[in-house]
Structures are given as C-alpha cells and as structure tokens.
Amino acid sequence: MNSSASASSVGGHAGGFAATHRSDNWWLGWVLTAGGLILFFGYLTIRAFQGTYFWSGHGLAYISPAGSPPLFTPASGYPGAVPLSHAWLGAFPRWWPKFIPQSPAFFVPGLAIAFRFTCYYYRKAYYRAFAATPPACAVGGAPLKYRGETALLLFQNLHRYALYGALLLLVFLWYDAFRAFFNEHGRFGIGVGTLVLVINASLLSGYTFGCHSWRHLIGGKLNCFSCDGASKFRYTIWKKSTWYNQRHMLFAWLSLFWVAFTDFYVSMVSRGVITDLNTW
Ligand code: FES
C-alpha cells in the first residue's frame, strides 16, 4: 500500500485510496485501531445483549461496569443478575418488551457510549479506521465527501453535555469500587476483584479528567489564573487535567480495555469459572 508510480499527484501527495509517499508502516495504526474498536466495543455490545453474570456475590460484592448502575434487574431467567435488593428501581417493569433482553446495560452505560462516541480522540480514530477519509496522515483517502461536523456528524458537538453524564457515571463506578471492599453483609475484605474494580474506576477517571471539555470547563473563560483563590485553584486543577489530556489516547485505550476486562473478570467469578482470591 505504499506509493504507486501511477498515482496522480494531489497537492504534493500521492492520489488514490491508500496511495502515499510514506515509507513507514502507516497502515499498522489503522489496522490496530479498527481491530481494537471492533474487538472491545463488539465484546461489550454482546455482553449488553446477554444481560447475564453482571454480579458476583460469592464473597465480596462485585458488579460489572457494563451493568452499572443497575436501575432495573430481571426478576428471573438471567443467571448472575444483580439481586433485586441492589437494583435502584427494582425489577424490570411489566411493559418491558419481551423481545428486548432485560439487561441493565441498556440504561446508564449508554452515557459512557455517548461520551466515547463524541470524544475528540475517538472521532479521529473511527473516521480513520472505518471511513478512511483518510486512513492516516498523507495517505490517500476513500472517495467519500468529508464534511466534518457540519452534516450527519453535527451531534458530536454535544460532547460537552455527554461529559456531565460521564462525570455522573464515575460517581457510580467509584461507589462500586468502594462496595467491592465489602461482602453482602457489610464485612470488610480485599480481593483481586476489588483491585480490578479500583483500577477500572481510576483509569476511567484518568480518561474523563483528560477530556478537552473538562479542561475547558475547569480552566476556560478565565482572564487570570492568579488573581484570587478560586482562579488559583482552577489553575491547579487545569494543570492536572492538562497532564491527563496529553495522554488522552493512552487513557482512552487503557480504560476501554480495562472495562472489558473487568466485565470479563466479574462474569467469570460469577459463573464460578474463576475463584476470586480475597481476604474474606
Ligand atoms: S475529548 Fe475525549 S472524552 Fe472528551
């Protein structure tokens, strides 16, 4: 997929799809990005439709981030479902359509999807991976008309509002991590699952607090960073956010991988396939 002698020259670049003068393995990032997005989002989508094994009450109480917070829980027929006593609004309502699985993943985790889908980093990732317009810098793109966020993708400007949902979700995920230090009867303990859930909440915090919208929210619209206590405080938070922002892609991938891994771990403990090592 390197430069083609027959490719026409467009503004100094090679013309035609995937044509380029680059001599490095530019396609590797493209393939890895597309593969990673399909793998992790595919896994989480399948798990959302399964609606099972989101909860493990053997020993310490673990809940999968894919099903948290559980607004509703199925009354029966879904092994590993969150107990009724832990569902925020009780059992799924009678009017819930029979052809849609009773999965708690269809509610609040949607906030996380909205946040990631409109994220500035993910926009670049999925444009390149799936629309390939272009697939990489200085590489010929697919013959699609790119109009940025002025047409179909206009909704991406809602990212700043998706941030509020993500911040709310973080509260629930830290609560789940805190709950993972206790069993169902309130007895304290630490297990491998506890650490998995704490790392999950930490990585998602790193991703969320590196968000461009968060950085603007906390440090924007200020003319002076040192005029009073409030502006100095905001400057301190802004500098920390900048550190995360510079590593936003890293946290985007680490947190995505770890959400899937956390769900996998909780589901395996819930099924009894893995025995959680813990102090309980
Ligand atoms: S820019 Fe990526 S989460 Fe906001």
pLDDT exceeding 90 applies to what percent of the chain? 72
Say whether pLDDT at 55 is over 70.
yes
Mean pLDDT of 143-166: 84
Centre of ligand 1 from the C-alpha of residue 157, in Å = 11
Peptide bond into 134 cis (omega under 30): yes
Tell me whether residue 266 is in a domain: yes
pLDDT exceeding 70 applies to what percent of the chain? 95
Average pLDDT of the residues of the chain: 91
What is the pLDDT, as a whole number, of residue 9? 55
Residue 62 host element (H or E): strand 62-63
For residue 261, the Cα-to-chain-centroid distance in whole angstroms is 12
In 119-247, which ranges are continuous DSSP H helix? 120-126, 159-179, 192-208, 212-219, 229-246
What is the pLDDT, as a whole number, of residue 37? 95
Dihedral over Cα of 149, 155, 160, 163: its sign: negative
* 153/221: higher pLDDT: 221
Centre of ligand 1 from the C-alpha of residue 264, in Å = 25
What is the pLDDT, as a whole number, of residue 4? 45
Per the CB < 8 A criterion, the answer to whether 9 and 15 are in contact is: yes
What is the pLDDT, as a whole number, of residue 67? 92
What is the pLDDT, as a whole number, of residue 253? 97
Mean pLDDT of 206-215: 97
Indicate the top mutation candidate among 124, 159, 215, 241 to test ligand 1's pocket, ranked by most ligand atoms within 8 A of CB.
159
Tell me whether residue 234 is in a domain: no
* 102/14: higher pLDDT: 102
pLDDT band at residue 46 under the 50/70/90 scheme? very high
Q: Which of 110, 7, 106, 112 is nearest to 51 (CA)?
A: 106
Indicate the top mutation candidate among 211, 247, 254 to test ligand 1's pocket, ranked by most ligand atoms within 8 A of CB.
211
pLDDT digits (tens, 9 = 90+) for 156-191: 889 999 999 999 999 999 999 999 999 888 899 999
Mean pLDDT of 48-54: 95
What is the pLDDT, as a whole number, of residue 10? 56
Residue nearest to atom 4 of ligand 1 (CA): 211
Say whether pLDDT at 2 is over 70.
no
Centre of ligand 1 from the C-alpha of residue 162, in Å = 9
Phi-psi region of 144 (alpha: psi -120 to 50; beta: other; left: phi over 0): beta
What is the pLDDT, as a whole number, of residue 211? 98
What is the pLDDT, as a whole number, of residue 8? 53
DSSP letter (8 states) at residue 130: I
Mean pLDDT of 193-213: 98
Dihedral over Cα of 273, 51, 101, 45: its sign: negative
Q: Which atom belonging to ligand 1 lies closest to the Cα atom of 252? A: 2
CA angle 159, 161, 165 (to 5 degrees): 105
What is the pLDDT, as a whole number, of residue 64? 97
What is the pLDDT, as a whole number, of residue 7? 47
- Please state the domain count of the chain: 1
Q: Which atom belonging to ligand 1 lies closest to the Cα atom of 119? A: 2
Centre of ligand 1 from the C-alpha of residue 105, in Å = 22
Mean pLDDT of 64-71: 94
What is the pLDDT, as a whole number, of residue 251? 98
Dihedral over Cα of 148, 207, 215, 155: its sign: positive
Phi-psi region of 189 (alpha: psi -120 to 50; beta: other; left: phi over 0): beta
What is the pLDDT, as a whole number, of residue 78? 94
**What is the rounded distance in angstroms from the CA atom of residue 272 to the CA atom of residue 99?**
28
* Pairing assessment for the beta strands 55-56 and 62-63 based on DSSP bridges: antiparallel
**Ligand 1 proximal residues by C-beta, below 6 Å:** 115, 119-121, 159, 211-213, 248
Cα pseudo-dihedral 78, 81, 85, 87, rounded to 10: -100
* 13/242: higher pLDDT: 242
Tell me whether residue 258 is in a domain: yes
pLDDT band at residue 192 under the 50/70/90 scheme? very high
Tell me whether residue 177 is in a domain: yes
Burial class of 263 by CB neighbour count within 10 A (0 to 12, 13 to 18, 19+)? buried
Q: Which of 12-16, 68-72, 122-126, 209-213 has the lowest mean pLDDT?
A: 12-16
**What is the rounded distance in angstroms from the CA atom of residue 193 to the CA atom of residue 181?**
9
What is the pLDDT, as a whole number, of residue 234? 96
In terms of residue numbers, what domain contains 176?
9-210+247-271
Tell me whether residue 2 is in a domain: no
